[in-house]
Structure formats: structure tokens, C-alpha cells
Amino acid sequence: MKQTIAEKILSKKNIERKEVKAGDIILGKPDVILINDASGPLTFIQFRNIGAKKVADPQSVIVVLDHFSPPPSLSAAEAFKETRKFVQEYEIPNFFEIGKGGIEHTLLPEKGFIKPGSLIIGGDSHTCTYGAFNAFGTGLGSTDIAVALALGYTWFLVPESQRFKFEGRRMPFVSGKDLILRVIKDIGVDGATYQSMEFTGNGLLQFNIDEYMALCNMAVEAGAKTGIVEANENIAKWAVSKFGDLPELIKADENAEYINSIEYNLSEIDEPLVAKPHSPGNVVNISEVEGIHVDQVYIGNCANGTLTDLRQAAFVLKGRNVAKGTRLIVVPATQQIYKQAIKEGLIDIFLEAGASISTPTCGACFGGHMGLLSDGEVAIATTNRNFRGRMGSAKAEIYLANAFVAAASAVTGYITNPKKVVDWEEAKKFVYGDHNVN
Ligand SMILES: CC(C)[C@H](C(=O)O)[C@@H](O)C(=O)O
Ligand code: SF4
């Protein structure tokens, strides 16, 4: 049988060990079950409601306190307490306290929990981020997570797949974020509902693994079940440096069945893109929105809070100041990224520029805390959702963009093409080092 990447991974994880195809309903054993403080407490209630007495495979469970971390309210503090209680009661070994981890989707690969070919389920919609590592990640509701905790396996409807191929030369200041914004612009926010979005093509070699995370992270913003990068040299290199050996990598078979295929010539995605309020599908070229004043710039979240993002922002902010009338909040996604950013002098650059640096947290990304917007305010953020009310007031407006754009906008105070602030050749060296980006 000719198979897509999703079909291959689900065939391996199918507890009946049979080959599967799109449309099949199967029982699969996830390698990782992810729980956070936002949806976790509901999962714990459901776990008890179904009469579960123990967690089938505690080793596979990873619990992260990240959404309301550190708790800004009493109710969040209670949710944290509930979560710690569950971890203790069911002897979950992989637990990340405040100060020990960071945003789950950046943290799990960093800690070595994600391998090519892994199946990951999580009580969070951006669990699809792990496709960056050639893995199948998907978000499930709290009840499904509770059942998977109790049984060690759960049901999957094997998704149909769409293929997105990137060839050609990467253009200045276009980042992983821009690739997915372009795809969502083309197919719409319901363009891949319950499907696997599979990303391939030699063009992707010019983007690094952090950028693959941004690409896969927003697959769910097109309604997808998952988004997966086909195995390539970058993923192989990452796997070898992470695990010391080369795990089996997953590629689609030639002639695998895709319900739609789109090929992009990267040289035609020739400037950064921006998603306008109030939808990640409301995407335009930056030139269409340049000059709009921003009250707040937010650099962080599980799509774009990586070291690559911080380097992009720092390069732009180096020796410059955040504009008067604008504020900048920088949120390194994990403790390790934070530490590395200090070592590299990035945090100094942010502080000198007048930024507020936050401890790793989901924070204001989903309107939790640490930088909410008030009525009438406008923000540009490296986050993945700009729904009405997402970062606070329903009367605020959020633009989504990559970290080069966000930082350039912080410097001028209005949405700005980074090419007007810094030189691409210099930026490339600072951000990507030896990685051949075009
Ligand atoms: C609160 C949480 C469960 C939610 C999600 O599922 O994605 C959040 O992370 C988000 O980004 O909106
Ligand atoms: S950073 Fe934002 S999008 Fe990502 S998991 Fe947290 S709340 Fe969700």
C-alpha cells in the first residue's frame, strides 16, 4: 500500500499492527500524552468520572505547568495545585514545575521526548507542532485524553492528507512563520479540516528546525489534525545531534494518495506576511499594512519563542530603542532558551532596548496574563492566533508576524518591513550562523 506520512506513523502505532489508510478508525498507542494546567484539571475530572484507578503508562505522560505560569489568580493557583496532586497520586515522573520547563511544545522536543515517527497526543490544540520533528502530534479534548491515560491507547480516524511542496530560493526576512501564513492564506482557516498537512521540498532545507516548529504549529489554524515535515537532512542532523544515532525517518511513498498538492516557489514569497485582525487566515503582504501604529509588540509563544526568534529580534533591536508610545514584551519559550539567550547577550540587547522580559509562560498569548491589551489597542505578535479578544479586550486588534517584523515594528512604533531597519546579509549571519539559508 502506498502511504502518506500520517498513514505510515499511524500504521506503526496501531495496536493491531496492521497497515492503515485514510478513513480507517484505529486504536493507537501514543508515545507521549501531554497535559497542561489549562485543560489538565478537566482531564482529571473526566479520568475520575470514568472510574479509572490508574494511569496505564505513567512514563508516557508529560505534565507541564505553562499556561497560567506563574499563577496570576487564585483559580489558576488552584488548578496548579490540582495538577500537582494528580502528578503525585499517579506517580507521573515527567513533570515540569514553574521555573523548570517552559511552554510545552517548545519544551518537549528540547527535553528529548519527541522523535521522528513518534505519536503524541495532548490536551492542547498546538500539539501538532511536533511535526517539525517528523512526528505525528495532535490535540484532543480532555475526555479523550482521560481515556488515553486510563487505557494507554485511544481511537484515531486516519486523516486524509494534503501536500505542500517548497522549492526555490528563500527570500530576505521570510521565515517559517511566513510559509504557514501563506498556506493558510491560500487554503483558508478550514482548508485542511481533520487532515494531515505534509510539508516537503528542497526549499525547506534553507529553514531551520525552529522554523519548522512555526510551520507545523499553525497547521491547526487551517483546521488540520496534524502538520508534518517530511524527513530531510535537517531533521536527520537534528536527530543525530539530539539522540546520538539516526532513528527511522518517515517519508511518504511515491504515489501516496494526497487529496490536494500545492507547490510553492519560494522566490515568489518575496516579503514577510502579516495576518490582520481577527483571523490567522486574513493574510496580506507586509507592504499592505506598513505604517499601522502598534501599542504593544509581543515576541514569544509556542510557534515563535525559540532561540531563532530571539536572535531575529535581537539582531533588529541591537543598539536601537523601542519607540516611544510602544512597549515590547519578550517571552523566551523555555528556561533553557532563556539561559542561552543570556549567554549570547540577547537578553542584554532586549533590556538595553527597553523591553520587558518575562519568565517562560504562555502568558498573554491566550489572554492569560503578562501583557493583556485594553480597548482599542493594537498589537503585533509572533503568536499564532489573533481571534477577537484573544489577548484581552475584544476591542483590541492583533496582527501576527515573524520575529524580524515584530522587532522592526517595536523600533519604529508601527508595522515595519525589517529590510528598512537592518541588512539581510548581516542578519543571516547573526541568526543562522553556518546554516545555508539561501
Ligand atoms: C488553553 C489551551 C487548552 C488552548 C489550546 O488548546 O490550544 C491554548 O493553548 C490555546 O492556544 O488556545
Ligand atoms: S503559547 Fe499560546 S498557543 Fe501555544 S500553547 Fe500556550 S496558549 Fe496555546
Chain mean position to CA 329: 18
Residue 128 counted as an annotated binding residue: no
Query: Across the 438 residues of the chain, what is the mean pLDDT of every consecutive 10-residue run?
Result: 97 95 98 98 98 98 98 98 98 98 98 98 99 98 98 98 98 98 98 98 98 98 99 98 95 98 98 98 98 99 98 98 99 98 98 98 98 98 98 98 99 98 98 91
Q: Does residue 310's CB lie within 6 angstroms of at least one atom of ligand 2? A: no
Residue 302 counted as an annotated binding residue: yes
What integer best gives the mean pLDDT of the chain? 98
Residue 436: predicted pLDDT: 87
Residue 365 counted as an annotated binding residue: yes
Q: Does residue 373's CB lie within 6 angstroms of at least one atom of ligand 2? A: no
Query: In the numeric block, which cell numbers belong to residue 421?
Result: 531597519
SS3 280: coil
Ligand 1 centroid, distance to 301 Cα (angstroms): 11
Tell me how far CA of residue 111 lies from CA of 94, 100, 399, in angstroms: 10, 11, 31
Residue type at position 13: K
335 close to 99: Cβ distance less than 8 angstroms = yes
CA dihedral 111, 297, 76, 46 (to 10 degrees): -60
Q: Which residue has a Cα nearest atom 4 of ligand 1?
A: 124
Query: In the numeric block, which cell numbers belong to residue 23?
Result: 478513513
Q: Does residue 107's CB lie within 6 angstroms of at least one atom of ligand 2? A: no
Burial of 39 per CB tally in 10 Å (0-12, 13-18, 19+): buried
User: Best substitution site from 301, 309, 330, 369 to test ligand 2's pocket, by max atoms within 8 Å of Cβ?
Assistant: 301
Residue 97: predicted pLDDT: 98
Contacts of residue 34, Cβ cutoff 8 Å, sequence gap at least 6: 62, 63, 64, 104, 108, 120, 121, 122, 123, 124, 127
| Chain segment 17-50, per-residue pLDDT in tens | 899 999 999 999 999 999 999 999 999 999 999 9
Give the atom of ligand 2 at the shortest distance from the alpha carbon of 105. Answer: 5
Q: Does residue 67's CB lie within 6 angstroms of at least one atom of ligand 1? A: yes
Residue 266: predicted pLDDT: 98
Q: Which of 105, 145, 113 is nearest to 129 (CA)?
A: 105
- Quote the CA–CA distance of 360 and 365 in Å, as a whole number: 12
Percent of the chain with pLDDT over 90: 98
Ligand 2 centroid, distance to 91 Cα (angstroms): 26
User: Best substitution site from 65, 107, 304, 365 to test ligand 2's pocket, by max atoms within 8 Å of Cβ?
Assistant: 365
- Quote the CA–CA distance of 41 and 318 in Å, as a whole number: 42
Full DSSP string of 296-328:
EEEE-STTT-SHHHHHHHHHHHTT--PPTT-EE
SS3 200: strand
Are β-strands 154-157 and 25-28 bridged in parallel, bridged antiparallel, or unpaired?
A: antiparallel
Q: Which residues on adjacent β-strands are paired with residue 378?
A: 397
- Quote the CA–CA distance of 285 and 119 in Å, as a whole number: 35
Q: Does residue 384's CB lie within 6 angstroms of at least one atom of ligand 2? A: yes
Residue 438: predicted pLDDT: 84
Q: Which residue has a Cα nearest atom 11 of ligand 1?
A: 366
Q: Does residue 124's CB lie within 6 angstroms of at least one atom of ligand 1? A: yes
Residue type at position 55: V
Residue tagged 498537512 (cell numbers): 197
Ligand 1 centroid, distance to 221 Cα (angstroms): 12
List the Cα angle 100/102/107 in 5-degree steps. 100
Residue 393: predicted pLDDT: 98
Query: In the numeric block, which cell numbers belong to residue 275?
Result: 495576518
Ligand 1 centroid, distance to 58 Cα (angstroms): 23
ipTM for the assembly? 0.99
- Quote the CA–CA distance of 180 and 215 in Å, as a whole number: 5
CA dihedral 362, 371, 98, 127 (to 10 degrees): 0
Full DSSP string of 325-370:
T-EEEE--SBHHHHHHHHHTTHHHHHHHHT-EE--SS-GGGGTSSS
Residue 17: predicted pLDDT: 84
Rounded to two decimals, the pTM is 0.98
φ and ψ at residue 195, rounded to 5 degrees: -110, 165
Query: In the numeric block, which cell numbers belong to residue 356?
Result: 520587558
